[in-house]
Amino acid sequence: MKLVVLACLAAVAVAAPQFQDFIPIVNILRDERQDDGNGNFRYVFEADNGIAVEASGTPGSQGQSNIQGSFRFVFPEGNTADVRYIADESGFQPQSDLLPTDHPLPAHAIELIRMTEELRAAGATWDEQGRRLTR
């Protein structure tokens, strides 16, 4: 019986995943940090696997941090993702070729918007259901 238990434990030990084979070794190429303690900061980080992060921040007018920065990483297929961003009173505003963009409005929608603007300029008003109140 002891031999069976010992054999089972040995089989489990041999079958256990070897995690050290899956952990990539990444070398840090650059790691710079500055913080003046008053809400102003800057940091830069870069690794040899293509990951890079850079940001600088200042105190915002409403108590938040205003941050400008960027980050980069490499997809498994080899393509590089680059994202630049601003985060301030207006929220998080990323910019990247990877982000989806709005489709252009069709010509008839642009014409309807133009007509509505003309009516507003002439004094027309609408209720909450979109019915025109004035002529």
User: To the nearest whole percent, how much of the chain has pLDDT over 70?
Assistant: 85
- The DSSP bridge partners found for residue 94 are 85
29 pLDDT more than 90: yes
**Closest Cα partner for 50 from 15, 23, 76?**
76
What does the pLDDT look like over 47-63, one tens digit per residue? 999 999 999 999 988 88
123 dihedral zone (left: phi>0; alpha: psi -120 to 50; beta): left
Q: Tell me the pTM.
A: 0.58
34 pLDDT more than 70: yes
